[in-house]
Structure 1
Amino acid sequence: MTNYPKPLRLEEQVGDKSISFETGAIAKQSGGAVIIRIGDTMVLSTAVQANKPKDTPPQFVPLSCDYKERTYAAGKIPGGFFKREGKAREKEVLASRLTDRAVRPLFPDYFNTETQVVNMVMSYDGINDADVVSINSASAALMISDIPWNGPVSAVRIGKLDGKFIMNPTNEQRLTSEMEMVICGTLNGILMVEGGAHELPNTDLIGAMEAARPELEKLCRLQIKMKEQVGKAKTAVATPEIKADLKAAVETMVKAEIEKILSSKPEKKAMEKALEEIRIKAYTAMTVKYPEDATASYQAKTVFEDILSEVWRRITLDTKIRTDGRKTEEVREINIDPGFLPRTHGSAVFTRGQTQALVVATLGTSDDKQMLDALEGKTFDRFMLHYNFPSYSVGEVKPDRGPGRREIG
């Protein structure tokens, strides 16, 4: 018989609500699994890493975060012909990105193992939303897993009613709240802030963050307590040390050329092309020079980026002129061209420097409202904002497979 750890449940008071973490009951084959509960809203968060790291040096953290709502959580059956959930709704994509932004910065350097975090809403009481609290269970799942991660991180949604800050306001309270912010943090400080308000003074925004700090610390310490009781041993990450001779070789090879390029104030495309050629030259040279070291290209990349940052910063501060020729107090030229498209209801091209946006407005009737069939119930949206980021806008070649996560919300 497999010796699974006994279920463990820990609870903490956050604001006027009780939040609990539970592990050991389900999803036992995942790296870490935690159920968070607030009221009768429950989210299962799991964290799993691949069996071994990628063979190539890391370019970014290979992490995917998914937030999924299932209609059974609210006692409903999905609409449509197939009666099954389809692609992620806008809210699910935004909630996934919230979790990603909170946990991604805390992975160690050179971490290169495919990792997936899934937040699954299993029960929804119609009162307490699951999107923000799921960040806490995702963090807890990473904490007790074998995945190397420098957490914990915690999150609260904060509102303001009758002059008082409210932690994790109910859906009804959010309708009349003067502000709504999502605040994530660690024991060391605030990590991420997102939200909006109705023209609140800056002191209130600072006050909201100060009010959130002790609540975030409670949730962080609760996760640490859970890790101490049921946490697995972490997988070791061998971060390569930068060899002194490799660092010196890269510096000799690229520093003078970087200074020459940046000092000449080239056009953006020309600068990027020139820097890329130097970068590839350095990577290739170090790979050939140290064939027995699989991390040589990673070391060269790290040294190159450090040199580029140092030279770029020094030139800008010394000359008070940026690489595109603008002085430090100058802004890029701004141009607005209204009525760009003749047959649309409204259009304009906004240009700032080399960044452009073609904006089109279309007016419809009440029949054009978008029906949203969500856990919260059926609603209709009369304002729709669609953002597109085509690959040609940055001079790249990519297949168009519909809007990506960055284009949602």
Structure 2
Amino acid sequence: MMVEGEMKEVSETVMLDAIKFAHKEIKKHCKVQMELMEESGKTVKREYSHEENDEEIRKAVESFCYERCYAIARSGEDKHTRSDAFEALKEEFMQTIPEAEREEKAMMVSRYYHDVEKRAMRRMILDEGIRLDGRSTSDIRPIWCEIDYLPMAHGSAIFTRGETQSLTTVTMGTKLDMKEMDEVLIQGTEQFVLHYNFPPFSTGEARPSRGIGRREIGHGN
């Protein structure tokens, strides 16, 4: 069950009464849906199909890959080199499977390999206190910053930490540039507007820009 609500201060009794009232109304919606199912003939539910597993392959992946995954994680190489090494190891294991069975078992191997890779990295961090880039759990990467990086902008700054770099600009505007908010519970304007742009080339990807992606949503917008 999922319950959504918003309030400032309310007693538990009032809240419970509200939930009970909503539950009574939800039953009406459920009844209509059941009637529609009957009318459309969609009364048989799909059978749940659990993922297939093969313990022999799981053990083979563990035996073949764990120590080498640990060594790759422990190498302290940069992210791209490390990713290539992990991928090469998985491909090397795939070559041990008969060619006629590779396509059929590829997804299963990928799932088991992901678990082994994750466990190796986790054990290294927990047991040795070393992270993937060679730092200890208490080390902080050095940061480089500079302000007024772009001379023609109203304001700008750039910073670099590890493989992450951000260039930020500030533009002053008039009241006509204010952000208008017309939401269910919030109406009005906001003086500060953040536009966060994360183009594919910034992570070495080659794909078209088609609206906001997961990084823009998660990082800024």
The TM-score range, normalised by the shorter chain, is 0.7 to 0.9
CA distance in 2 between partners of 1:321 and 1:337 (Å): 30
Query: Which of the pair is proportionally richer in helix?
Result: 2
State the structure with more CA Rg.
2
Deviation at residue 377 of structure 1 after TM alignment: 10
CA distance in 2 between partners of 1:374 and 1:311 (Å): 46
Question: Residue by residue, what CA displacement relative to the aligned partner does 1:78-121 show, whole Å, maximum 9, x if unpaired?
Answer: xxxxxxxxxxxxxxxxxxxxxxxxxxxxxxxxxxxxxxxxxxxx
Of 389, 393, 396, the residue aligned with 2:202 is 393
Question: Residue by residue, what CA displacement relative to the aligned partner does 1:328-376 show, whole Å, maximum 9, x if unpaired?
Answer: 1122223321111111011111333222221111001123335567788
Contact 2:74 2:134 survives alignment (8 Å): no
SS at structure 1 position matched to 2:6 = strand
User: Gaps spanning 5+ residues in structure 1: where?
Assistant: 1-151, 168-210
Deviation at residue 239 of structure 1 after TM alignment: 2.5
SS at structure 1 position matched to 2:159 = strand
Deviation at residue 282 of structure 1 after TM alignment: 3.6
SS at structure 2 position matched to 1:336 = strand
Matched, 1:302 2:150: no
Query: Which of the pair is proportionally richer in strand?
Result: 1
Aligned length: 203
CA distance in 2 between partners of 1:322 and 1:249 (Å): 27
Deviation at residue 379 of structure 1 after TM alignment: 5.1
Matched, 1:158 2:6: yes
User: Gaps spanning 5+ residues in structure 2: where?
Assistant: 38-42
Of 161, 167, 170, the residue aligned with 1:352 is 161
**TM-score, with normalisation over the residues of structure 2?**
0.74
Contact 1:284 1:297 survives alignment (8 Å): no
Aligned CA RMSD, in angstroms, stands at 3.6
Deviation at residue 254 of structure 1 after TM alignment: 1.9
SS at structure 1 position matched to 2:160 = strand
CA distance in 1 between partners of 2:213 and 2:85 (Å): 30
Which position in structure 2 is the counterpart of 1:382?
191
Deviation at residue 306 of structure 1 after TM alignment: 1.1
- Structure ranking higher on relative contact order (CA contacts 8 Å, 6+ apart): 1
Matched, 1:252 2:63: yes
CA gap 1:309/1:402 in 2 versus in 1, 3 angstroms:
closer
Deviation at residue 378 of structure 1 after TM alignment: 8.3
Which position in structure 2 is the counterpart of 1:78?
none
CA distance in 2 between partners of 1:402 and 1:244 (Å): 43
Q: In structure 2, what residue type is equivalent to 1:158?
A: E
CA distance in 2 between partners of 1:262 and 1:287 (Å): 28
Matched, 1:267 2:74: no
